[in-house]
């Protein structure tokens, strides 16, 4: 009797082991391997760059004794394998070293600048999703019509136009000539440091504080760069949505639904669009990740104090600790977004479980 109960308990426990423990273990191993590869690449880049971090600290006029002491303090006198494991340990603890440009720990600098990029990329992605998905759906439904042609031209222009040119033209027209939006930066000088920085995102902080004058000023500054980034996101999302929808609209179940007399709105927006939501998750996640790490030119043009501008300034100043720290953070974002999209797969598509 006891043996039979144990066997039944083992059978009950096996699905949990099969569907949850083993996949979770595989995911953790995949994350660890990816992070290890990322750390190896950044470590090699930091060693092969023609920049001597010791000279950046002590200066070229320092004596040999001073140079050797700084080199030993940085651990650069140890074998490369030992340096690599020390580097891994530092990164795991969140220690990216000191920034030569700001004289602050790189981790603190990233905490300070990343919310600005997060706020900008999030608004841009929302813009791209809200407009890009319906545009792609309508273009697929009206295939070959003028609406489809306009949607394809919009996507083509979004892929082709240099973002620095669009940014400069946007500032010239909407800020310089029309005065509809705020200029470069996140706030006018008058509004800086008025609301407490709870999240680091001005729109959220000002809303939480109930200071709507700061909110309006912040929105006037972010609306143009977010729209430009959102336009690039819109181009990608609308194009992929159109492609996915065309495949679904030619499927037999769509023909069957129409023959049964279902309303066209239900066939398109519920059945066809519902069946591409899993693919759209990946598209939106990749678009979001690209905006988080690829908004360097936008941040430079609009003087947006985000991680893109931070890494660029650090690179121009030969501040390799800041460059490598920012690179690791961006890589980690890609990994986390991929994991998040996988979890959404299982939520929206029971077959993925």
Instruction: Decide if pLDDT at 2 tops 60.
Output: no
Q: How far apart are CA 101 and CA 105, in angstroms?
A: 10
pLDDT at 21: 67
- Stretch 33-48: mean pLDDT: 80
* Closest among 130, 110, 31 to 340, alpha carbons compared: 31
Q: How far apart are CA 89 and CA 280, in angstroms?
A: 37
- CA-to-CA separations, 142 to 87, 98, 135, 180, in angstroms, rounded: 55, 56, 10, 35
CB atoms within 10 A of CB 153: 10
Write down the pTM of the prediction: 0.81
pLDDT at 223: 93
Question: pLDDT class for 45, splitting at 50, 70, 90?
Answer: confident
Beta strands in 27-161 (DSSP E): none
Q: How far apart are CA 178 and CA 203, in angstroms?
A: 24
pLDDT at 27: 73
pLDDT at 17: 62
* SS3 of residue 105 by DSSP: strand
Residue percentage of the chain with pLDDT more than 70: 88
- Stretch 122-140: mean pLDDT: 92
Instruction: Decide if pLDDT at 269 tops 60.
Output: yes
Least confident window among 19-28, 94-103, 127-136, 335-344: 19-28
pLDDT at 197: 84
Q: What is the CA radius of gyration of the chain?
A: 26
- CA-to-CA separations, 180 to 175, 216, 217, 223, in angstroms, rounded: 6, 12, 12, 10
* Closest among 169, 199, 171 to 185, alpha carbons compared: 171
Structure tokens at 31: 């994350």
- Stretch 47-74: mean pLDDT: 73
Contacts of 135 (CB under 8 A, 6+ apart): 151, 154, 234, 238, 241
- Stretch 159-181: mean pLDDT: 86
pLDDT at 148: 87
Instruction: Decide if pLDDT at 222 tops 90.
Output: yes
Q: How far apart are CA 181 and CA 122, in angstroms?
A: 19
Classify the C-alpha dihedral 333-337-338-340 as positive or negative.
positive
CATH topology of domain 106-352: MetI-like fold (1.10.3720)
pLDDT at 11: 47
pLDDT at 92: 84
Instruction: Decide if pLDDT at 321 tops 60.
Output: yes
Instruction: Decide if pLDDT at 172 tops 70.
Output: yes
* SS3 of residue 98 by DSSP: strand
The neighbouring-strand residues paired with 105 are 98
Q: What angle do CA 296, 298, 303 make, to 5 degrees?
A: 95
The dihedrals phi and psi of 236, each to the nearest 5 degrees, come to -70, -45
pLDDT at 226: 92
Structure tokens at 29: 């191993």
- Stretch 249-265: mean pLDDT: 85
Least confident window among 15-29, 261-275, 293-307: 15-29
Q: What pLDDT digit, counting tens, does each position of 284-308 carry?
A: 888 888 888 767 788 888 989 888 8
Mean pLDDT over each residue of the chain, to the nearest integer: 82
Which of 27 and 147 is assigned the larger pLDDT?
A: 147
Check if the beta carbon of residue 164 is closer than 8 Å to that of residue 330.
Answer: no
Domain ranges of the chain: 106-352
């Amino acid at each position: 009797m006891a043996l039979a109960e144990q066997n039944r308990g083992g059978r009950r426990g096996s699905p949990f082991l099969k569907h949850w423990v083993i996949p979770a273990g595989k995911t953790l191993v995949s994350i660890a391997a990816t992070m290890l590869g990322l750390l190896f690449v950044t470590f090699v880049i930091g060693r092969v760059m023609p920049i001597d971090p010791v000279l950046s600290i002590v200066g070229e006029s320092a004596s040999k004794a001073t140079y050797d002491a700084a080199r030993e303090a940085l651990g650069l006198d140890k074998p490369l394998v030992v340096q690599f494991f020390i580097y891994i340990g530092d990164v795991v603890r969140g220690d990216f070293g000191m920034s030569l440009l700001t004289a602050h720990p790189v981790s603190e600098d990233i905490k300070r600048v990343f919310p600005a990029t997060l706020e900008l990329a999030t608004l841009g992605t929302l813009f791209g999703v809200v407009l890009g998905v319906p545009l792609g759906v309508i273009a697929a439904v009206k295939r070959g019509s003028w609406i489809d042609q306009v949607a394809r031209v919009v996507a083509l222009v979004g892929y082709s136009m240099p973002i620095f040119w669009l940014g400069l033209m946007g500032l010239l027209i909407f800020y310089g000539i029309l005065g509809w939006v705020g200029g470069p930066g996140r706030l006018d000088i008058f509004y800086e440091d008025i609301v407490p920085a709870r999240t680091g995102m001005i729109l959220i902080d000002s809303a939480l504080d109930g200071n709507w004058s700061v909110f309006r000023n912040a929105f006037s500054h972010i609306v143009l760069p977010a729209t430009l980034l959102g336009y690039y996101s819109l181009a990608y999302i609308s194009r992929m949505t159109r492609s996915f929808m065309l495949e679904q609209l030619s499927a037999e179940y769509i023909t069957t639904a129409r023959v049964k007399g279902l309303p066209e709105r239900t066939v398109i927006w519920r059945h066809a669009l519902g069946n591409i939501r899993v693919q759209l998750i990946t598209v939106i996640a990749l678009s979001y990740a690209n905006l988080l790490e690829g908004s360097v030119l936008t941040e430079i043009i609009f003087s947006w104090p985000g991680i893109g501008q931070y890494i660029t300034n650090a690179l121009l100043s030969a501040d390799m600790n800041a460059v490598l720290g920012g690179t690791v953070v961006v890589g980690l974002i890609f990994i986390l977004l991929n994991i998040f999209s996988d979890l959404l797969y299982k939520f929206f598509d029971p077959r993925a479980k």
